[in-house]
Amino acid sequence: EVFEGPHRPIEKTELALIFDTNDRRMVEPLYQELEKHCREILFVDHHPVLNQGPEPTPGSFIDTRAASTGEISYFIIKGLGIRLDENIARALYTSIAFDTQLFRYVKSSPTSHLISAELLEYERNPEEIHQNLFSTHSIGKVAFLSKVLSEIEFFGNGTLAVLKLKSQDLDDHDLEMDDARDVIDMIMNINSLQAAALFREEAPNVYKLSLRSKGKIEILGVAESFQGGGHLFAAGALLKGKYAELKTQVVDQILHRLDVPSPANRK
């Protein structure tokens, strides 16, 4: 996710493809290098284009009906007349399985399942992919989860969960920030929840906000109010400010969408 520091120079090329985002700001400073050395840059993505964000390059493949970028890639490959093989099938299936969290988030279409059924004619060991994607917790990760999950705050009669992940907690367990990516999905397993908000501390007074909804409310609008983006039911943003104030703003917005009084408005 990060392109910084010493790296191999980009050679002159005809085409660069950027997957799983349509916002060039998400791939800076790499995008500036691509503009210098690539004749054409195209985005392949399934996220909505942000109202306040830059437009994707002309000719990009943007399909918000797709549950994953892997689905879009599948149709591009088919359209080019390329025959599937084991390597292609494994890459596409991995993309679909990860982005849909093993088909938990497939929207209202059977497309993900139908494509995966075809891919599994070539990929004979999907369980290995599942293990590599989702069964990778170290002992340190489990200890970390034990600590942070006990700090969840609940609002709206248990319909909203909020959690702050501190960088020190990761350091104490010898983990990277990327090791915390799945925490919000674990929180969403709580049966009473309709939504969850996770604040990941990136730096002092800087937080990466992740939002999830089970479908009762659209969560994208909350992220967009902070210049973020994502999907209707899974979105995020980068926030700057004091945690208590940011939390109050996010909680109030979500509870309003859930039609539940915020703590400040309760009598």
Match 């075809």 to its residue by tokens: 118
Q: Which domains does the chain have, with CATH numbers?
A: 13-132 (3.90.1640.10), 139-265 (3.10.310.30)
Q: Which helix (H) or strand (E) holds 243?
A: helix 243-257
Question: What is the rounded average pLDDT of the residues 82-87?
Answer: 97
Residue 81, classed as helix, strand or coil, is: coil
Burial of 136 (0-12, 13-18, 19+ CB in 10 A): exposed
Q: Once rounded to an integer, what is the mean pLDDT over residues 118-129?
A: 94
CA atoms of 69 and 112, how far apart (whole Å):
11
pLDDT tens track for 27-42: 888 888 889 899 999 9
Query: Which residue has 């085409």 as its token pair?
Result: 15
- For the chain, helix (H) and strand (E) counts, in that order, are 10, 9
pLDDT per residue over 165-176, tens digit each? 998 888 999 988
Q: Closest Cα to residue 74, out of 25, 35, 123?
A: 123
User: Which tens digit of pLDDT belongs to each residue from 162-216?
Assistant: 999 998 888 999 988 778 888 998 899 999 999 999 999 989 999 999 999 998 8
